[in-house]
Amino acid sequence: MKERERQFETAQETQLVRGETLVRIEKPIYGGAFLARLEGKAIFVPLALPGEEVRVRISQDKRGYSTAEVEEIVVTSPERIEPSCKHFGACGGCNYQHTGYAQQLEFKRAILRETLERGGVQAPDEIAVLAGEPWGYRNRIRLAFDAVGRMGYRGRRSHAVIPLEQCPIAAPALVDAARAAEAILRSTSAQGLRPTEIALFTDAEQSAMLVSVFVRTAAKAQFETLMRALSERVPAVKGAELLVEFAPQGRKPVPMPRTVAQWGERSLMYSAAGFDYRVDHGAFFQVNRWLVDALVERVTSGAQGKLAWDLFAGVGLFARRLVESVERVVAVESAPMATKALAANLSGTCGTAVNQATADFLRKARKGERPDLVVMDPPRMGLGAETTDALGRLRASEMVYVSCDPATLARDLKALAASGYAIEQVAMADLFPQTFHLETVVRLRLA
């Protein structure tokens, strides 16, 4: 071992003289890269593995850290495997296909623990893991078009489009439908449409699909042509929308894409956790079709009492389950794409849908009835100071926080702990296998 260390240090010095860099990879970090150090400075290296010695090229050098690309693997990790997708490395979608799934789960659990503790939150000794089939899980994909109409994902190191030939993490029907759409768009009848992107969403069984087509200039006739042809080739396609991303005549871009035409159905029914959920165009729904049931069970298990709040409720994934065991449920959501579906999914139950931003709802709810349980599933930015302060003052007996970003989760948990809440359980839910993304479910109780 000492001899190997001496050889490594000698080689590193030699590489520096020649303008090259030899580094040893230490551990994975959040964001998909791996950490190495050179003269104490952190270097972030994608597509490597812990324990490997790699020759790298510095691609970006900043004061506090550098990013680099692997030029040569000098010492290979025994955990390295052949990726399942031919686009891995060039495509920006996946980060971990070069190692086995068990190793990926350990990466994510370690990253979660370290991020929490760095943020001042003591993680429990046991972090549970929710995991399922790591392939074919995505129920939603979004693809871009290049200048000549080829379709694919954005590249890892650029905005270039990597032409799509396969995507083993997506539901197969989505890839088939995307490639059929590309072929139709190349035909004479639909050529004038010129989409910038296309998004496809399927139910878990791949029996129903919604399509969103993004353009800079509306071409409604060609859109109709595309959808009629696509539904003939892919009968699962039930509805579509055409969205304009930019204002006409070179004006400033619109803040949000604007729907200018619709075809077919405006929603699909998604069977999960024992219910059929209405999901409208563009509404958020958990992306992993294998793990939705397990996630709902983890979040709502043991729920009881007179009143529960579901904040950032989406279309009511958790609220619909909560109404089975809680006397009254209030589900709060402000996204226009989700509010109608949320109301429909709670219709006829003890649940009430509130079309309001969470912060506004909490301001008005200060003097009302205190809930027994609060479930919250915020976007990547987390809860923030105002919301955590309001929740701390609320003093509900129990809270369940569903997070898609460990850094903002740590920040918010630290604030909630200062308000008197203690962490009971933490689970890492791997809703995005092969990528660095991770979901966390934290159960908190008022101390």
Write out the catalytic residue numbers: 404
Only one residue has tokens 């109301």, namely: 343
Only one residue has tokens 């009881």, namely: 304
The one-letter amino acid code at 238 reads K
- Distance between CA 199 and CA 208 in Å, rounded? 14
- Whether 228 and 170 have beta carbons less than 8 Å apart is answered as no
Q: What share of the chain is helix, strand, coil (3-state, %, to 5)?
A: 25, 35, 40
Q: Closest Cα partner for 203 from 116, 265, 153? A: 265
- Distance between CA 264 and CA 228 in Å, rounded? 10
- Whether 188 and 166 have beta carbons less than 8 Å apart is answered as no
Distances (CA, A) of 269 to 42, 208, 281, 314: 48, 8, 12, 15
What are the structure tokens assigned to 433, written together? 């296998």
For 175, other C-beta atoms within 10 Å of its C-beta total 20
- Distance between CA 177 and CA 165 in Å, rounded? 12
Q: How far apart are the first and last CA of the chain?
A: 49
The one-letter amino acid code at 53 reads E
- Whether 377 and 405 have beta carbons less than 8 Å apart is answered as no
What are the structure tokens assigned to 419, written together? 């308000």
The one-letter amino acid code at 3 reads E
Distances (CA, A) of 65 to 34, 49, 62, 108, 241: 12, 19, 5, 22, 43
What are the structure tokens assigned to 437, written together? 């993304």
Helix axis angle, 220-233 to 172-185, nearest 10°:
130
Helix (H, G, I), strand (E, B) or coil at 29: coil
- Distance between CA 159 and CA 31 in Å, rounded? 17
- Whether 98 and 88 have beta carbons less than 8 Å apart is answered as yes
Helix axis angle, 101-118 to 406-418, nearest 10°:
40
